[in-house]
Amino acid sequence: MSENNDLVKVWKNNHKIHSYEVDFKSCATLTILCQFMQEAAWNHAENLGVGFSHLLDKNLIWVLSRQTTKINSFPKWGETITIHTWPSGKDRLFCYRDFKILDEQDNVIGIATTTWFVVDIKKRKPQRTDSYIQLETSDDVEKVFSSFPTKIETLYSIDQTKFIQINFSDLDVNEHVNNVKYIEYILYSFPFEFVKTHKLTLFEINYLSEALYNDEIDVRSEKKGDMAYLHSLMRNNDNTELCRAKTYWEKDS
């Protein structure tokens, strides 16, 4: 833990929505909002002394394991939003971090909860939280959901499949596919006619394995109800499941 006396309890980042961050409906995309949240988390972790720069000195990196995001209203082009984020708990292996997205009138238009762990780069092994973080969260810390992200069930039947080949533009600084790209692959697997007439309301994802440059991936989807879908990303050459996700939609007014 850093000895900095200016540690921030709740980190806040402001973002204006630009033309290159919106979709054909002039709304910020979920992937952009997730990038904003990750940037806020990155900045806050640095402030708390457990950021990328601090862990890398110990051959450690943060890994995002699970995320649940609920969007009530997607911000539009030209609007400014504020991301609030704070640590919401930890146990022996995982650290938890929650988020709120506020509009210009300070209305909450989105919430998210995330699960993280730390891996030793050389040994490729998860580390106990008490080995790298001494930050304590009180029992009454705010949690945006009643529970942390849960395990998503296995996909057993396939209603549609979309093929993806990984390009270098999909990679992060660790040369793994950026976790936001998984979300993008899933959302882009839907037919355009469906996306034009529906709005995403809830997105759940479990990250299971790493995807690398030139991997060939199938995005498999199964309809679970009128407005719910189960998804699985599979690497073709070794049949490794990379992630599971659930999406929930409603008719766009």
Backbone angles phi, psi at 31, to 5 degrees: -65, -40
Q: Is the pLDDT of residue 233 over 70?
A: yes
Q: Is the pLDDT of residue 63 over 80?
A: yes
Q: Can you give 114-153 as a three-state secondary structure string?
A: EEEEEEECCCCCECCHHHCCCCCCCCCCCCCCCCCCCCCC
Q: What is the band of 149 on the pLDDT scale with cuts at 50, 70, 90?
A: very high
Share of the chain above pLDDT 70, in %: 98
- How high is the pLDDT of residue 137? 72
- How high is the pLDDT of residue 144? 98
Tokens of residue 38, six digits: 């990750």
Q: Is the pLDDT of residue 2 over 60?
A: no
Q: Is the pLDDT of residue 32 over 50?
A: yes
Q: Is the pLDDT of residue 112 over 90?
A: yes
CA distances from 80 to 13, 28, 41, 105, 202 (A): 10, 11, 19, 10, 22
- How high is the pLDDT of residue 192? 96
Which of 111-120, 168-177, 209-218, 237-246 has the least mean pLDDT? 168-177
Beta carbons of 97 and 86 less than 8 angstroms apart? yes
- How high is the pLDDT of residue 140? 83
* Averaged pLDDT score across all residues of the chain: 94
Q: What is the band of 68 on the pLDDT scale with cuts at 50, 70, 90?
A: very high
As a whole number, mean pLDDT of residues 141-167 equals: 95
Rounded-to-integer distance, Cα 11 and Cα 35, Å:
15
Rounded-to-integer distance, Cα 238 and Cα 234, Å:
9
Backbone angles phi, psi at 181, to 5 degrees: -65, -35
Q: What is the band of 5 on the pLDDT scale with cuts at 50, 70, 90?
A: low
Rounded-to-integer distance, Cα 113 and Cα 66, Å:
8
Which residue segments constitute the domains of the chain, with CATH numbers given?
11-131 (3.10.129.10), 160-251 (3.10.129.10)
Rounded to the nearest 10°, the torsion over CA 148, 82, 38, 40 is -100
- How high is the pLDDT of residue 124? 87
